[in-house]
Amino acid sequence: MTGNTDKLSKLLADKAEMKLLHMVTSSPARTPTLTMFGDENYFFANANGGACVNQSDCIFVGPNFAWNHGDFQRDITRTWFAMVGPGVQRLGRNDAVFSDHTDVRPTMLALLGLKDSYIHDGRVLSEWLARTALPSGIRQGRENFVELAEVYKQLNAPLGELGRASMVYANRSITDVDTAYARYLSKISDITNQRNSLANDIKTVLDAAAFGNRPVDERAEDGLGHRARALIDQVKDLAERDHRAENHDQHRGHRVEN
């Protein structure tokens, strides 16, 4: 169609990386060996039951189809979320807050003055709420709450800084030699365990502020926030280190192909 040869696979995630990205469920049948994140210009699906007789049967233009979910690219994964009603600030379009689906429920409950019997994976989007509508635990320490909530999302959300960096690290390791992949498996497991433990600690503090009237104090924000930022930086360094190694190999003429 274009005369170009496109590489369809952008990033690969194995089961270890999918676990970090919250993609592993309690059903083994729903956990593939590998997940391919593809070129954002393509939508992947089984054609004719998976059997392609001619190339045209497998690749075609669907002009009435909007490819707007899944994958990792911003133009696919970024979507809108609208809030209106008592207690919601009239901000118009606001792109300053990074959030995802898990934040919707706790935010709604906070506005309604309700609470759950469990701790949420998301957090109250206090930046969009009027001060008078905030739960007292957030209102009394709003700055500390927001700062800790922001780093929490970058730590725990699949599309946060840690998640995105880990995908680069995972892809490079999966397509490398066996020894590099073995080192990666040990490292990514340790990172996932650290992330899970730290995320549980942070979301417990955030939930207590939103629904238990226990404000986030500066010591908690500094301590937990510092640990979260350190882990994020560690994973970003691993991803960048692999990128530098790949560029070095290409410069020497030893390009590694998938």
Evaluate if residue 68 carries a pLDDT over 80: no
Q: What is the pTM of this model?
A: 0.87
**pLDDT more than 70, % of the chain:** 90
CA distance to 6, 60, 61, per residue, from 2 (Å):
10, 12, 12
Tokens at 162, concatenated: 């840690």
Please, what is the angle between helix 178-211 and helix 161-174, to 10°?
170
The pLDDT score that the predictor gives to residue 257 is 40
Contact indicator for 164, 21 with CB cutoff of 8 Å: no
Residue type at position 248: H
Mean predicted confidence (pLDDT) in 12-33: 94
3-state secondary structure at position 13: strand
Q: Judging by beta carbons within 10 Å of its beta carbon (0-12, 13-18, 19+), is residue 143 exposed, middle or buried? A: exposed
What's the full length of the chain, in residues?
258
Say if residues 157 and 101 touch (Cβ distance below 8 Å).
Answer: no
> What is the token pair recorded at 16?
């270890």
Q: Percent helix, strand and coil across the chain, each rounded to 5?
A: 55, 5, 40
Per residue in 87-137, pLDDT (tens digit) is 999 999 999 999 999 999 999 999 999 999 999 999 999 999 999 999 999
Which has more pLDDT, 80 or 154?
A: 154
